[in-house]
Chains A and B, each alone.
Chain A
């Protein structure tokens, strides 16, 4: 057997410095050396996972919210359904989808989209309903049709709540997407997952990937705050 000739396999943690082989608290040289093959791609995959989930989630939640706003009776059942769905642990949801769609990107996205959906829907509905009644009556009195009231009064007034919902959705999705690594070698969860599988967890990899995930969440949140400042300057006081 030729396998024997290969000799024993000794894990070396790559061609690491003394910092890496000694597993010191944080090794910048490891981060520099593995940005190209590990951290960079993982960050990019994470951005992709999050962006696709939020965009699709919004594309589904928005028309549903318009429907629920038009036909109020739909709101309560969907609200309860989404509250229950939000209690489903992400790890369990990912696993339960596997028999249907396999260990695929689709499985991960279905789960992530479900979570963004249950965050976005109530926020959009709440935003649409935030227009004061007398404002709507005034608009009606000026001769605006129902559609015009929606597009010119209710939607602009709903923008702060919608962006608020998007902020929660993006930040939560960044967090939940790390769990996708249990199914697929993708996203910032995967380096963490690998680091935990080592006989002694490799600290630098955990800290650097973890910091990137947190930075991504904060960065996206900041971008949405800026977007709100630009779109609805009247509704922006402070950072909250």
Chain B
């Protein structure tokens, strides 16, 4: 079953499709990155500060729990379809749906990261005469960076990986090719699937590199990649 000749040929055709349509694939990749970037930007602008502030004041754990459930439990297809009925077909509805999807891990992790900072460290900073803002800026945030950045990475990969599904709602991007087998045939569908896969792997690896570089040396942990998926708050 594994590598019989017909299967091999299918993948050779897919590789040939990639080779023959680099221009198309590049355009679609850029479309997908634009959509993903816009969605991530919105999520970062709203969910990240909200999580940090809630964590700083140790308030709103219910919001953070709800966000983690939204991040996992809301099927992307449902989200995209639901926003389509409200906002119509196109860029905006997909951007909003993907932003909501990415907000889950961002909010949970930024809340969690700041909230779980060692109370002793915070008390010590207070005792040294730091204001609440200074405590947040020079104690809580640096210590929370590993968790916050994991949240950003999970959100970015989730958004980039989900963006192809947005093609059924006029989202553009590589998904346009994947859901249109009638025009692009199996070779095109597989070629675009391979590109989608590489794109999210690249985003994942790139952000893992940035995360290692940005984490203060003192709070660096041994493994950034192999952390278990967790849910508890």
Q: A99-B190, A207-B82 are in contact. Are A91 and B165 (CB under 8 A)?
A: yes
* Residues from 191 to 214 in B contacting A, C-beta threshold 8 Å: 193-194, 196-197, 200-201, 203-204
A214 touches B81 (CB 8 A): no
In the complex, whether A203 has a CB less than 8 A from a CB of chain B is yes
CA distance A80 to B205 in the complex (A): 11
B81 touches A192 (CB 8 A): yes
In the complex, whether A57 has a CB less than 8 A from a CB of chain B is no
**B136-149 Cβ-contact flags toward A at 8 Å (1 or 0):** 00000000000000
A164 touches B197 (CB 8 A): no
A80 touches B226 (CB 8 A): yes
Interface centre among B81, B204, B226 (most CB of A within 10 A): B81
In the complex, whether B225 has a CB less than 8 A from a CB of chain A is yes
In the complex, whether A40 has a CB less than 8 A from a CB of chain B is no
A213 touches B75 (CB 8 A): yes
A87 touches B204 (CB 8 A): yes
A196 touches B73 (CB 8 A): no
B200 and chain A: residue at smallest CB distance? A87
What chain B residues lie within 8 Å of A192 (beta carbons)?
Answer: 77-78, 81
Q: How large is the interface on B (under 10, 10 to 19, 20 to 34, 35 or more residues)?
A: 35 or more
**A139-181 Cβ-contact flags toward B at 8 Å (1 or 0):** 0000000000000000000000000110110011011101101
In the complex, whether B230 has a CB less than 8 A from a CB of chain A is yes
B186 touches A98 (CB 8 A): yes
In the complex, whether B168 has a CB less than 8 A from a CB of chain A is yes
How far is the CB of B95 from the nearest CB of chain A, in Å? 18
Interface centre among B82, B178, B226 (most CB of A within 10 A): B226
B68 and chain A: residue at smallest CB distance? A240
How far is the CB of A57 from the nearest CB of chain B, in Å? 13
What chain A residues lie within 8 Å of B75 (beta carbons)?
Answer: 174-176, 178-179, 189, 210, 213-214, 217
A residues whose Cβ falls under 8 Å from a Cβ of B:
75-76, 79-80, 83-84, 86-93, 95-96, 98-101, 119, 122-123, 125-126, 164-165, 167-168, 171-172, 174-176, 178-179, 181-182, 189, 192-193, 195-196, 201, 203, 206-207, 209-210, 213-214, 217-218, 221, 239-240
Q: A91-B196, A164-B231, A221-B73 are in contact. List 16 more A-B contacts (CB 8 A).
A: A76-B223, A83-B226, A84-B204, A87-B161, A89-B160, A89-B164, A89-B200, A91-B193, A99-B186, A123-B229, A126-B228, A165-B229, A167-B231, A175-B74, A193-B77, A217-B72
B residues whose Cβ falls under 8 Å from a Cβ of A:
1-2, 6-7, 10-11, 65, 69, 72-78, 81-82, 84-85, 157, 160-162, 164-165, 168-169, 175, 178-179, 186, 189-190, 193-194, 196-197, 200-201, 203-204, 223, 225-233
Q: Which 4 A-B residue pairings sit nearest by Cβ, starting from the closest?
A: A79-B226, A122-B228, A210-B78, A89-B161
CB<8 Å pairs between A and B, sample of 21:
A76-B223, A80-B225, A83-B227, A87-B204, A88-B201, A91-B164, A91-B165, A91-B193, A92-B178, A92-B194, A99-B6, A175-B72, A176-B75, A178-B78, A189-B75, A189-B77, A201-B85, A206-B78, A239-B65, A240-B65, A240-B233
